[in-house]
Structure 1
Amino acid sequence: MPEDNNSRPVISNQTGLHDQLETVVRRHCTSPFQKPLADFNVAAFVEADQRLQQHGGPLILDSCCGVGASTRLLARRFPQHLVIGVDRSEHRLQRQWGELPDNALLVRADLVDFWRLARQAGWRPDYHFLLYPNPYPKKKDLKLRWHGHPVFPDLLALGGVLECRSNWKLYVGEMQQALKFLGVAADLNPVEMGDEPLTPFELKYARSGHQLWQLKAQLQH
């Protein structure tokens, strides 16, 4: 785990919920995302899907898993589940962060394609974690945040308990409001730190004195 305790808080030129949030979210729900799928993402998903079928048990998705520390920890906490961590960075996934449990899999893929493929394949995760995703704090970058991205409806269609954590309250607050627009209630509370942080970022931000926030919502398939 990193020792850095000087992480800067998120700085943004946006002080409240984005004024285009509802318009963007509703438009994405009525206009299916049509971007072509990349071949390497399809190949990565096929491998993951085969592993899931072989496992035959329940699934946990750990999206934006970074170095996979959270994937390893979740696999230990949920030994009956297959925990699939997905990140687009090969460099991060290849970093040595402890032994990978037998019920864990790390996949290099872009989630913009991976979530759509998972939806098409009928995946039904029990839990879906989004731990400290890039918040894209500039106001102009709303559509790069997951709740403002065209793939957001595909994320929601997977169902399960969605848990998103961030050190920027506005990020999870916007996600809570985006879900509310779509009839989904979400709880937003401070993170209660346990004995073992879920990710290196969680530890880094906590050591830097940041308030950490957790959104949880039960999604329908």
Structure 2
Amino acid sequence: MDRSSVVGDSRSIQSNQQGPHERLLDIVKRHQQHPFRKPIAAFNQAAFEHASQWRQQRPQAPLILDAGCGVGVSTRQLALQFPEHLVIGVDRSEDRLSRRLGTLPENALLVRADLVDFWRLAEQAGWQPERQYVLYPNPYPKASQVKLRWHGHPVFPSMLTLGGRLESRSNWLLYLEEMALVLEFMGHSPVELSRLPETQLAASPLTPFERKYHLSGQPLWQLCINL
């Protein structure tokens, strides 16, 4: 979720956690036992219907979901990288989406919606994206915020049900280590967790955050799994 275009001044994540949250798997178990039933907001339903109608222009094209796309740089980059795919970037911030950088290719769409509803609507509609990207999500680094991290949120099972190749990136290794722990606990493996190569980051950063963190000298990490 890109929130800034400032380059090279980012601090490393500070947290009162030294390892995976001690209650994380208990939280995940509870979510599995009690499915998420929060009502869908009307504006999210409308946004999903708009995205569904847009998909009909090329109904046979494979789909990529760019979750938390911010200003849309990653959505545009992915659309250029995968010209035979349709790429939908979703972000809840009207301000970030209004600051999109550059013209979008014809195979890309930006949608303002809350992912908590969008993922569930996609699950209900039977969407099966070929790829899902969750790039530099808000880390919510305080231990008390663990339920706000995607892997600690009750919507996470819905996102996993969509399937495809999931790729998440972060400048906080522990975030991805926790996500890997939850994925394996839920029966998804093998999980690939690695540091992003310096050459890749210098040549083609996927988001403004990725560029800023790299120029600030922070190591960046990537989780990949075929769901």
Measured in 2, the distance between the counterparts of 1:138 and 1:96 equals 30
Mapped pair 1:192 → 2:197 = yes
**Aligned mates of 1:114, 1:158 — CA distance in 2:** 11
Equivalences, count: 219
Structure-2 residue corresponding to 1:119: 123
Match of 1:18 among 21, 32, 55: 21
Secondary structure of the equivalent of 2:57? Answer: helix
Aligned partner of 2:148 among 130, 135, 144: 144
Counting only pairs closer than 5 Å after superposition, residues 42-61 of structure 1 correspond to structure 2 as 42-56=45-59, 57-61=61-65
Deviation larger for 190-199 or 127-136: 190-199
Matched-pair contact (CA < 8 Å) for 2:73–2:100? no
Instruction: Supply the RMSD in Å over aligned alpha carbons.
Output: 1.1
**What aligned pairs does 1:94-109 form with structure 2 within 5 A after superposition?**
94-109=98-113
The CA deviation at 1:31 is: 1.2
1:109-151 CA distance string (max 9 Å, x none):
0000000000000000000000000000000001000000000
More displaced 10-residue stretch of structure 1: 193-202 or 135-144: 193-202
Of 126-135 and 45-54, more deviation after overlay is shown by 45-54
| Consecutive unaligned residues in structure 1, runs of 5 or more | none
* Cα distance in structure 2, aligned partners of 1:142 and 1:216: 21
Question: What letter corresponds to residue 34 of structure 2 in structure 1?
Answer: S
Determine helix, strand or coil for the equivalent of 1:61.
strand
State the alpha-carbon separation in 2 of the partners of residues 97 and 6 from structure 1: 21
Secondary structure of 2:56's aligned partner: helix
Share of identical aligned residues, percent?
59
Matched, 1:33 2:36: yes
Question: Could you say which residue in structure 2 is the equivalent of 1:62?
Answer: 66
Amino acid at match of 2:223: L
1:211 match: 219
Contact residue 72 and residue 100 of structure 2 kept, 8 A: no
Aligned position for 1:73 = 77
After superposition, the C-alpha distances for 1:3-51 in whole angstroms (9 at most, x for unaligned) are 5212000000111000011111121122110101000000000000111
Deviation at 1:55, TM superposition (A): 1.7
AA at the equivalent of 2:118: F
Q: What's 2:209 paired with?
A: 201
Secondary structure at the residue paired with 2:47? Answer: helix
CA shift, 1:2, in A, is 4.0
* Consecutive unaligned residues in structure 2, runs of 5 or more: none
Q: Which runs of 4+ in 1 moved over 4 A?
A: none
